[in-house]
């Protein structure tokens, strides 16, 4: 072993200190100490940690799949932003028993109302992204986000679609006092009575409001908007002729009683709950269509495998004839339960709502 004098400071030696350095570690102008046994052991440990990390990354998809196979291991909570007994609430409850049979765990519905659904959806978004808290949303929530992006809950970026439970069409309903039976007649009559026709809705930015403005734009009309707090109050005024038209969500009992007259539906094809009425898009306004919907969503970040498990359970439930019949009796059509179906519906809603708001130059208070 040769001896050398260090010319600069390192952790291994101080200035002027004589240190033992193996001859083979001395390069041209470089003085290095050979690795100690402790350093070698540290390098081996680091290599082991890196190998373990790479193995974990490689196994993540498998681990996720195994977790989904085990899911669920406890009851699942469904947050519903509508009141107990409402059509939207009953639509979700129609699938819970069948989903429970597939998942092997109870699904417990919790109704949280207020702030047009924002409270419930914020509670859902804040829940753990593990699949044990999911929630319901509807077309009203995509509309709310489009018209009041600062005030409404951001349903697009905070939640993950599981699947569509059901869809609904609106019914173009008119007052019996005007004696009109077809969409073509209504458009001609409205054009001949500019400024005298008014339509009802459930408030600015509601589905009825936006669809009526779509109808105004497509038909070249400019009817006056009259907002109401509920559909029964609007139907009373429609029957009396105080308003002339409304796109109704629950029109069937009012049609059956003769209080209002149905002209057509907003469905693309014949609407099964009211098969006697034609689609608007196949009458005077080709291509005109709109569907409301109710669906299940999970907090953003829920594992894909867990979302698939929930989506598959929903699709199985919606494939049962008993479930489909229950949903049809509520005035809706069953969805397919696919996550992409709901995601596509939400994208379509947002594009359509933004287009009509821009075309009609609609403004809404924040």
pLDDT of res. 72: 97
Query: Mean pLDDT across the chain, nearest whole number?
Result: 85
CB of 306 closer than 8 Å to CB of 76: no
pLDDT of res. 1: 45
The b/e string for 161-183 (b: 16+ C-beta within 10 A; e otherwise) is bbbbbbbbbbbbbbbeebebeeb
Fold annotation for 71-169+291-360: D-Maltodextrin-Binding Protein; domain 2 (3.40.190)
Residue 45 vs residue 215, higher pLDDT: 215
pLDDT of res. 318: 97
Domain extents in the chain: 71-169+291-360, 171-282
CB of 173 closer than 8 Å to CB of 245: yes
**Strand ranges across the sheet with 261-265:** 224-227, 198-201, 245-248, 171-174, 261-265
User: H or E segment at 107?
Assistant: strand 107-111
**Three-state DSSP class for residue 23:** helix
Fold annotation for 171-282: D-Maltodextrin-Binding Protein; domain 2 (3.40.190)
pLDDT of res. 2: 46
Confidence of residue 33 (pLDDT cuts 50, 70, 90): low
Question: DSSP assignment, residue 10?
Answer: B
Q: Phi and psi for 4 in degrees, rounded to 5?
A: -135, 155
User: Rounded to whole angstroms, how far apart are CA atoms 275 and 315?
Assistant: 25
Query: Sign of the C-alpha dihedral, residues 6, 9, 10, 11?
Result: positive
Name which of 270, 269, 224 is nearest 245 in CA terms: 224
Q: What is the mean pLDDT of residues 200-226?
A: 93
pLDDT of res. 162: 98
Query: With 90 as the cut, is the pLDDT of residue 42 above it?
Result: no
Residue 206 vs residue 246, higher pLDDT: 246
User: Rounded to whole angstroms, how far apart are CA atoms 305 and 346?
Assistant: 22
Q: Do domains 71-169+291-360 and 171-282 have the same CATH topology?
A: yes
Confidence of residue 51 (pLDDT cuts 50, 70, 90): low
Residue 150 vs residue 188, higher pLDDT: 188
Task: State pLDDT tens for residues 225-260.
Answer: 999 988 889 999 999 999 999 999 888 889 999 999
User: H or E segment at 296?
Assistant: strand 291-299
Task: State pLDDT tens for residues 60-101.
Answer: 555 445 455 689 999 999 999 988 988 889 999 999 999 999
């Amino acid at each position: 072993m040769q001896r050398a004098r260090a010319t600069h400071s390192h952790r291994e030696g101080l200035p002027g200190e004589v240190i033992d350095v193996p001859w083979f570690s001395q390069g041209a102008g470089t003085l290095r100490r050979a690795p100690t046994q402790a350093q070698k052991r540290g390098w081996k440990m680091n290599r082991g940690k890196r190998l373990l990390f790479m193995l974990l990354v490689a196994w993540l998809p498998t681990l996720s799949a195994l977790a989904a196979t085990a899911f669920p291991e406890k009851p699942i909570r469904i947050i519903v932003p509508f009141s107990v007994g409402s059509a939207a609430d009953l639509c979700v409850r129609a699938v819970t028993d069948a989903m429970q049979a597939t998942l092997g765990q109870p699904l417990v519905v919790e109704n949280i109302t207020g702030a047009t659904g924002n409270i419930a959806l914020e509670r859902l978004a804040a829940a753990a992204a593990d699949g044990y808290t999911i929630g319901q949303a509807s077309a009203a929530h995509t509309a709310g986000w489009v018209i009041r992006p600062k005030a409404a809950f951001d349903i697009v970026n905070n939640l993950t679609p599981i699947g569509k439970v059901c869809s609904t069409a609106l019914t173009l309903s008119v007052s019996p006092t005007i004696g009109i039976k077809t969409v073509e007649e209504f458009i001609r009559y409205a054009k001949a009575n500019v400024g005298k026709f008014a339509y009802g809705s459930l408030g600015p930015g509601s589905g009825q409001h936006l669809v009526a403005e779509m109808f105004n734009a497509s038909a070249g009309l400019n009817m006056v908007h009259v907002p109401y707090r509920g559909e029964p109050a609007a139907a009373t005024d429609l029957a009396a002729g105080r308003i002339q038209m409304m796109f109704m969500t629950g029109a069937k009992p009012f049609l059956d009683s003769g209080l209002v007259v149905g002209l057509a539906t907003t469905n693309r094809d014949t609407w099964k709950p009211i098969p006697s009425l034609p689609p608007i898009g196949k009458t005077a306004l080709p291509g005109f269509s709109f569907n409301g919907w109710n669906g299940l969503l999970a907090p953003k970040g829920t594992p894909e495998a867990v979302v698939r498990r929930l989506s598959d359970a929903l699709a199985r439930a919606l494939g049962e004839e008993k479930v489909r019949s229950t949903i049809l009796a509520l005035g809706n059509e069953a969805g397919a339960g696919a996550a992409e179906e709901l995601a596509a519906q939400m994208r379509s809603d947002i594009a359509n709502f933004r287009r009509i708001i821009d075309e009609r130059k609609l403004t809404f208070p924040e």
